Structures are given as structure tokens and as C-alpha cells.
A and B are shown apart, each in its own frame.
Chain A
């Protein structure tokens, strides 16, 4: 292959970065191997489980089926961007803990990135809409109810509204 390594410049979690990346790499490969963004999990690697979910220019993508070279000029956010200056958790992460929405934790970063896109839209969603918006992430431990509740609770909190009783 000619130009097997290509220079790409992009923004990762608010910081401009440049990387000579292998043309054959997926975005998951690049984020994990070049930047140690280990929240980006290698799950199914065919775009079904959502464990590698990251936010690119405001939308969620499974980074396992996204070529690393496509990151050129993009703004990419991973779970690591939520870390506070002294290691604090964000509201959505805390809600996952409070609601026991985490068991093994493998799917959690992907779920939280999906949740983040939901929360940052600033809209109020019904339970059915939330289920659909979270349907691109698979969890084999929790049975989803606690995850749904964590997202819902944070959504109402951010909207400054009382969460309706179930």
C-alpha cells in the first residue's frame, strides 16, 4: 500500500491533535492505541453493540466501523472528556452509579455517550423515545431498566423539571 500512514489532524476531547495513522485502522484502533482512550471498547467490532460509541461533530457513531482517516478535521468526544479537573464524575455518570445501571461496566461508556447526545439535545423525551434513542447499545447485565432510569433522571434534572412518578 502506498501512503500506508497518513497524517490526520482532528480535535480530540477539546484538544487539537495530529497523528500519523495506519490507513487500515478503525477509529476505535486509533483512539485506543494512539491516545489510550480505553473507554472506547472493542465489543462486536461490526457496529451492533455500541460499546465503541463516540460523539463526532455532535452525533453518535460506532467507531469500530468508522475509518480512522475519516476523523480528519472532525471534533471527537469520548467518555474521557467527562472527567472533571479533580477526577470528579459528571451528573450522568453519577446517575448510572446511583441507579445501579452498571454491573460489569463494559457497555457503560457507550451508553453514556448515547445518553450525552440525548441530554445535550435539550429536549424532553418520552420513555419510548428514550428506549429508541438508546437502542443502539447492548447491555447483557442490567436488563436496561436501571439504565433508562439513570438517563431519564438526569434528563429531568438538566431540564429543571420534576421527574414524573412511575
Chain B
């Protein structure tokens, strides 16, 4: 038995918003792989829950009229990884979420829950930052769209206002068009582990594949919230596709990241790993784009 004070089951988005307004103290539960575990630990014991797990409309991946990729917030990780649209356009997101927990966790855990939880180690979050994803929130006053960077306020705090629920994650075409990416998760085990560090890189090469037109890199666990390494990006943008650029790019990462000492790993170790996985990720992303490192 869970220590649940009250459970409200939302059947639709409207229903969920009404429940959020009526019960402002209640916690929202999606797949429950964070909420129910925290309840067991006592952290959320005795709270009221609004279950949105049954809202069918919030599941699935689609392309909208502007060819932006729309991922319903309740889409499970395993469905994201298997979805043909994800595999075709942003396979790196499918790969990133395929590193979360184990198979059973990936069947229940949702991308909405992963981001609303506001933790820096979320395997989806660094990739979504690197793709400049847009978060769609629906509330009593309608729909609000905000960049994922602004959605994260601080550790465990995201910008969800009273009455709102997250309804989708949107990746604009401009962001994913003609790019390839790579996600590297550094953890102690291959499964059922939380990232010591996560790094997501995506690159767009010039038509002759000799120049980096646009490089984006984002980290999880390199600061209190997922973050982009903007100086590293600047160090690679417009530069030739070469090992030299990859070296400069990965070393510059140090200026951007703010990892800390924790029981999982020291700050120095995280910095070391950050440089190495940035290099490996950009080399792999170039390879996937059909380019070659000079």
C-alpha cells in the first residue's frame, strides 16, 4: 500500500486542469517511476495525487504542419525509441532515453515526467537542451510554449504554474533538420544506473562535409540543471571538420560546465569525463553525418 491521501484520476487534459485548480496541493503523477518511489522513501508520503496516466491523448509522436516533431508528454521511453519519426529525424533522443533504468522502467517512465521532475541527471533532458526543444504547457488560460532552457528554473524546480500540466515536447524543424547527434551516458553500470555525466552533441555539416555549420552540446549532471556548453559550441561553429577542432571544442567545455563533488563522483573526475565524452560524441556525430575527421 502506498501512503496516498487522495487519488484523483484525470480522464482528459481539461479534467486534469480542473483537478489542478481544485486541488493545488496535489502532486501530479504520470508513470509514477519517480513519484511512487519517492512516496516509498517517505519524501512524498501522505500527499494527494492527480493521476494523468490515463489520458490517452497525451501519448504518441507526430509531425505537425510545420514538420516540428511533437512528443506527447506521456509517451513512454520505449515508445519514443521505437517510433519511426524519432528513428528517422532525431534518433539520438531515442538512444538517450534507451539508457534510462531497465526495460520495465522504460515502459512506464514518460518524457514528461523525466523533464517535470527537474533533475539534472535525466537522460532525456540534455538531448532536449541540445535540440532547443519547446515545452508545451496547458493550463486554465490555454497553451503556453517555452524553451526548455527557461522551463528549468533550478534543481528540482521547473516552470509549471498553478493549474498547468505539461502536454507536449516539441522539436522545431529548424533544430533537427539535416543534423546527426550522439548521446553518451557515463555511469558505473550499463543498466539501472543514474548518469554520472551525460553528454548530447548534434552537428550540422556544410554540404561538402568539410565545415561545422552548427554544433550544439548539452550536459546532464554538469550543473544543478541540464546546460548547454555555449563557448564550446562557438569554438566549433564555422571551423573545419578536423581532429583539431574536436580537441579545441572538447577542451573548451571546461569553461561552461559547473559539475560538483558528490558521492557518485568528484568534480575533477566529472570534468575529465566531460572533455573525453564531448570529443567522442562529436567524432561519432560527424561519422553519422557521413563526414570524416581530417
Contacts and interface: CB of A to CB of B under 8 A. Distances in A.
Given A48-B192, A135-B192, A65 B108 contact: yes
A78 to B, nearest CB: 14
Contact of B105 (A24, A117, A136, A138): A136
Interface stretch (B2-10, B174-182, B225-233, B236-244): B2-10
B40 A46 contact: yes
Contacts of B6: 1-2
A63 to B, nearest CB: 9
B7 A29 contact: no
A61 B40 contact: no
Given A65-B32, A69-B7, A136-B192, A24 B2 contact: yes
A45 interface: yes
Given A67-B32, A69-B7, A46 B103 contact: no
B206 interface: no
B77 to A, nearest CB: 11
Interface string B87-104: 000000000000001111
Interface of B: 1-7, 9, 29, 32-33, 36-37, 40-41, 51, 53-54, 78, 101-105, 107-108, 190-192
Given A1-B6, A23-B4, 11 more contacts: A2-B6, A24-B4, A26-B2, A46-B41, A48-B192, A62-B105, A67-B32, A117-B103, A135-B192, A136-B104, A138-B192
20 contacts: A1-B6, A2-B6, A23-B4, A23-B7, A24-B1, A24-B2, A26-B1, A29-B1, A50-B104, A59-B107, A62-B104, A65-B37, A65-B108, A66-B108, A114-B104, A117-B103, A133-B103, A136-B101, A136-B103, A136-B191
